[in-house]
Amino acid sequence: MRQLPSHPFDDDKLKEECGVFGVIGVTDAANFVALGLHALQHRGQEAGGIITHYPETGFHSAHRFGLVRDTFTKTSVMETLPGSIGIGHVRYSTAGSKGATAIRDVQPFFGEFAMGGAAIAHNGNITNAVALRRELIERGSIFQSNSDSECIIHLMARSIQKNIPERMKDALRRVEGAFSIVAMTRTKLIGVRDALGVRPLVLGQLGDGWVLSSETCALDIIGAEFVREVEPGEMVVISARNGVESSRPFEQKRPRFCIFEHVYFSRPDSILSGRSVYETRRAIGVELAREAPAEADIVCPVPDSGTPAAIGYSQQSGIPYAMGIIRNQYMGRTFIEPSEQIRNMGVRLKLNVNRALIRGKRVVLVDDSVVRGTTSLKIKEMILDAGAAEVHFRIASPPTTWPCFYGVDTPEREKLLAATMTTEEMRTYIGVDSLAFISLDGLYRAVGEAKGRNNAAPQYCDACFSGEYPVRPSDMIEAGRIRLKEDPVPAGE
């Protein structure tokens, strides 16, 4: 399936790299994996893959471009994936080639080892992948993809351990960055998170079977019971014989879960760290209203990600909530290939203003983030064209001033609006009556940290806001593509 150009609205949002899902001990595992991936589609819409194992015929795989609903619902595809164990992956490329992904870059990846085959699906980003890849190639490894995740398969192949889980431990001890992994052998389902637990992974039970997933919403779609989160630095190995076995293969560290999962990435019907994502986002809106009140007639979300925060803002401020912007639910990423005239319509292809509601009103617009600022400009123009008297932007996250290197597709720092402008300069650039972001402390309070952010020991990974990276992005530093704020400025600059 050919990838059509992404829409301008999509280009101005941060994108999660991928979602992972696995199941063991069920009939027709591939059908459950496809349903799970469908629930995780928000984490990656570019491509997906499923690998299963059937004792009589071995491993089976299918990798396709496009959405799960368009590829893994066809009988002709699903019949090629027999077995009671399977894993799957949906992706949006970060480390691989953007916009021109080859099918060989689509996960899960598979490797044949002396003790049998294994497949692996990875959510996150390996920050020392370039150095590892160079080392492995020098030692004779032949890479088939552009993905950083393939390094794990090659590291496993070079391990001298006697079984797949131990080889995986060996490999992941060499890896830096963020990883939540779902893997499988002929008889085992494996889940593992890095020591910081940057990306999510949960464990569920389905009758006598077990499930691993990036989010709890994917458990709900197949009727599985949420058991618990896979803990930071934990590996779980699941088999019919031994059930769930847990180990701690990495040096123990203070967890740094990605705080942006609460703000935007995860689905609002998921549970993170025992908290409803929806309730957290509503609480963000409450904090935002306390910190940045506005005199206005209505509060409108920028759909859909701004909706819970807008509800919270309305509840706290007493300003009525209204659906002033309507989203076209049928305008997907694989819409008709746009002509230049259609492309210039910008976000109007996805969003339309409820003119009768907006005309003459002072409007508070609540959005989840500002990245490049292009979408904010277009939406402001739409609201003013509809006759709004005033436009006040309220943003349910702090200013995004630094790129992410742990599995989120982020523009280079100089393309981040908040990295080059003050809040007042951004307000002037966008052309609104007022602009305010929630503070970092306010965001922490909304996610349950009553005292706000512990600056000496932050409770989350918030590098995109603070510039404080819990793992140094060594590849990017070596390539000269990023200088951290704590690094000395070279002489002459």
Angle between helices 374-385 and 423-430 (to 10 degrees): 50
The CA radius of gyration of the chain, in Å to the nearest whole number, is 23
Q: Please give the Cα distance from 249 to 87 (Å, whole number).
A: 22
CB 409 within 8 A of CB 14: yes
Give the three-state DSSP class for 218. Answer: helix
Task: Give the residue carrying structure tokens 């930071």.
Answer: 232
The answer to whether 18 is a known catalytic residue is yes
Q: Please give the Cα distance from 416 to 467 (Å, whole number).
A: 13
Per-residue HEC secondary structure of 161-216 comes to CCCHHHHHHHHHCCCCEEEEEEEECCCEEEEEECCCCCCCCEEEEECCEEEEECCC
Reading phi first (left if > 0) and then psi (alpha if -120 to 50, else beta), residue 403 is in beta
CA dihedral 390, 346, 397, 321 (to 10 degrees): 50
| Tokens of residue 54, six digits | 């059937």
Neighbouring CB atoms inside 10 A of 155's CB total: 21
Single out the catalytic residue among 18, 217, 404, 464. Answer: 18
Neighbouring CB atoms inside 10 A of 423's CB total: 15
| Tokens of residue 444, six digits | 């922490």
Catalytic machinery residues: 18
